[in-house]
Homo-oligomer: A and B are copies of this chain.
Amino acid sequence: MSATPARTPPPPYYAVIFTTLRDDSAGGVEYADMARRMLELAQSMPGYLGIESARGAEGLGVTVSYWTDLAAIDTWREHSEHRVAQERGMRDWYRHFELRVCRVERARSFQRAVDTP
């Protein structure tokens, strides 16, 4: 995942907003491996458009993934390896999460022109 805003096609398309609060004791290496694998897996799924993710110093994580349609999101949710990660997340990693599925209706992009010296 590059640390830049995702480039997505014109709306409509769908977004999954996954906001998480980690458990204080949540494992470092194991969690990082899972997160990396889930990103790799998501990117290989049909209908994947992009992802944006940040975790702040206070521990709140906001990850938004973008998809062509609801069917793509359903297929991703039900993927067997993703299901295992979901179970593990609820058992061991997340103290609290909110997951929201949304239809993107409007979008606007801004990019600064590169300054010439």
Contacts and interface: CB of A to CB of B under 8 A. Distances in A.
Contacts of A61: 54
Contact of A6 (B52, B56, B90, B98): B98
A49 B5 CA distance: 24
A83 interface: no
Count of identical protomers in the assembly: 2
A103 B15 CA distance: 10
Interface stretch (A18-26, A30-38, A40-48): A18-26
- Does more than half of chain A's interface fall in helix, strand or loop, or is it mixed? strand
Interface string A48-62: 000011111011111
A39 interface: no
Interface residues of A, number: 45
A80 interface: no
Given A5-B96, A23-B112, A101-B107, A62 B58 contact: no
Interface in A57-76: 58-64
A15 B97 CA distance: 16
